[in-house]
């Protein structure tokens, strides 16, 4: 014979009534609002998290492949572009490389463009570049030789693969051209025609010694060109005029007794604000060839006077940095412990920390 205690009997009578009062959850679909000032993408191994650096609020997430070097965008078409690589069995199997196109509103893939299966799958912002005409996307390949895939993201087609032995990084210039850093101490300029095919190629004179003081493959765009930095902290500004590559004399911001301070980090070590001409560099104290050591300070440099104007001491060393391009810019720092921090890029004061799991790099938009 089964007996029910008063407590059990009471629960059996009350529980159905309590559960009946719970309102069923309704499924809704949120869309992303128009991007505001100081919005950015925090790239991780799981995708790209879209945040507002001013408020610290998250607004969406791009689901990217685990082998995505970088993501960029084009505001007039309200689209994101990412070079992505997939293996059929997750960690092995048939490989497929694509350029994925995502829309702004729903952050969903709206097109895939199959490309040659050897994109450089390193988390480097300069391994992907949308050219200034907004039509042609250049993707760096490593197989193990270097080449560049050109994709027409407007017509959604693969266009061309240019062999670029010994040269890497994508630095868009002019309307439909890009520069690269080469291992012989030069720069290479590749100019494309209106269809995206190579029309001309030129090389600069040697301006750095790859053995004594190599240039980083991490670069920073300026208002009219690009800033390059060497392992010992010498900065060059490079621009083009039609098919001419122009390289300004290099300069160092170090004062006497600061020779042991070197730039370094696992990802992006230099970034620049176009309008003000301020350059931000992750620096640490150590011997040469420690360029992968994270920065314990951020040095703020004025490219107009070629002087240092500030030093930001960090609680946790920086592996990647990016300054946004608004009138009141923010300096974004991904530290070596997986944290993300936002600084006022003008006053150099810390404003907040944001939880972005294992953020390794940033993209402004």
- Of 173-182, 260-269, 355-364, give the lowest mean pLDDT range: 355-364
pLDDT of amino acid 268: 94
Mean pLDDT across the stretch 224-237?
A: 97
pLDDT of amino acid 7: 45
Q: Does pLDDT of 40 surpass 60?
A: yes
pLDDT range class, residue 20, cuts 50, 70, 90: low
pLDDT of amino acid 8: 47
Mean pLDDT across the stretch 71-96?
A: 95
Residue 73 CA to its chain's centroid (Å): 11
Percent of the chain exceeding pLDDT 70 equals 95
pLDDT range class, residue 26, cuts 50, 70, 90: confident
Q: Where are the domains of the chain?
A: 67-206, 214-365
CATH number, span 67-206? 2.130.10.10
pLDDT of amino acid 28: 79
pLDDT of amino acid 45: 81
Q: What Cα–Cα distance (Å) separates residue 339 from each residue in 40, 78, 91, 189, 218?
A: 15, 29, 27, 37, 21
How far, in Å, CA of 351 to CA of 333, rounded? 12
Q: Does pLDDT of 12 surpass 60?
A: no
- The token pair at 186 is 């030069």
Mean pLDDT across the stretch 42-68?
A: 92
- The answer to whether 67-206 and 214-365 have equal CATH topology is yes
Count of Cβ atoms closer than 10 Å to residue 360 Cβ: 17
Secondary structure in 3-state letters for 185-221 = CCEEEEEECCCCCEEEEEECCCCCCCCCCCECCCCEE
Domain 214-365 in CATH 1.10.1040.10: no
How far, in Å, CA of 54 to CA of 342, rounded? 8
Residue 169 CA to its chain's centroid (Å): 12
pLDDT range class, residue 338, cuts 50, 70, 90: confident
Q: Does pLDDT of 41 surpass 50?
A: yes
Mean of per-residue pLDDT scores for the chain? 92
How far, in Å, CA of 321 to CA of 272, rounded? 10
Q: For 19, which DSSP code?
A: H
pLDDT of amino acid 360: 78
Cβ neighbours for 167, distance < 8 A, ≥ 6 positions apart: 146, 180, 181, 182, 183, 188
Q: Does pLDDT of 324 surpass 50?
A: yes
How far, in Å, CA of 329 to CA of 54, rounded? 9
Q: Does pLDDT of 14 surpass 70?
A: no
pLDDT range class, residue 18, cuts 50, 70, 90: low
Q: What is the per-residue pLDDT across 118-145, written as a single tens digit (0 to 9) for each?
A: 999 988 999 999 999 999 999 999 999 9
How far, in Å, CA of 348 to CA of 323, rounded? 12
Q: Does pLDDT of 317 surpass 80?
A: yes
Q: Does pLDDT of 4 surpass 50?
A: no
Mean pLDDT across the stretch 319-328?
A: 95
Give pTM, 2 decimals.
0.91
pLDDT of amino acid 16: 54
Candidates 338, 305, 337, 217; CA nearest to 269 is: 217
Candidates 99, 89, 194, 212; CA nearest to 149 is: 99
Q: Does pLDDT of 311 surpass 60?
A: yes
Q: For 65, which DSSP code?
A: -
pLDDT of amino acid 328: 94
Going along 88-217, which residue ranges are E strands? Answer: 95-103, 109-115, 128-130, 136-142, 146-152, 157-163, 167-173, 177-182, 187-192, 198-203
């Amino acid at each position: 014979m089964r007996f029910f205690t008063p407590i059990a009997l009471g629960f059996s009578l009350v529980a159905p009534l309590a559960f009946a009062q719970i309102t069923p959850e309704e499924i809704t679909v949120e869309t992303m609002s128009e991007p505001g000032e100081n919005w950015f993408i925090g790239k991780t191994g799981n995708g790209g998290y879209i945040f507002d650096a001013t408020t610290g609020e998250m607004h969406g997430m791009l689901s990217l492949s685990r082998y995505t070097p970088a993501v960029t965008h084009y505001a007039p078409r309200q689209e994101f572009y990412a070079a992505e690589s997939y293996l059929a069995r997750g960690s092995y199997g048939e490989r497929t490389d694509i350029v994925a196109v995502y829309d702004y509103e729903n952050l969903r893939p709206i097109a895939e463009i199959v490309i040659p299966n050897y994109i450089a799958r390193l988390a480097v912002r300069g391994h992907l570049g949308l050219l200034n005409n907004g039509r042609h996307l250049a993707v760096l390949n490593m197989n193990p030789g270097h080449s560049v895939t050109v994709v027409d993201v407007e017509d959604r087609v693969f266009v061309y693969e240019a062999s670029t032995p010994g040269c890497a990084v994508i630095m868009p210039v002019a309307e439909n051209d890009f520069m690269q850093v080469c291992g012989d101490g030069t720069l290479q300029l590749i100019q494309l025609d209106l269809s995206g095919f190579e029309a001309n190629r030129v090389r600069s004179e040697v301006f750095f010694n790859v053995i004594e003081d190599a240039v980083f493959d991490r670069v920073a765009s300026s208002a009219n060109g690009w800033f390059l930095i060497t392992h010992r902290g010498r900065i060059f500004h490079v621009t083009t005029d039609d098919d001419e590559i122009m390289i300004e004399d290099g300069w160092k911001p170090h004062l006497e007794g600061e020779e042991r301070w070197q730039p370094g980090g696992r990802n992006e070590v230099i970034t620049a604000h176009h309008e003000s001409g301020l350059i931000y560099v992750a620096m640490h104290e150590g011997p040469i060839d420690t360029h992968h050591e994270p920065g314990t300070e951020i040095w703020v440099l004025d490219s107009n006077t070629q002087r240092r104007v500030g030093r930001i001491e960090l609680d946790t060393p920086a592996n990647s940095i990016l300054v946004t391009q608004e009138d009141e810019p923010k300096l974004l720092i991904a530290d070596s412990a997986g944290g993300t921090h936002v600084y006022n890029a003008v006053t150099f004061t810390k404003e907040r920390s944001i939880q972005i799991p294992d953020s390794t790099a940033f993209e402004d938009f």
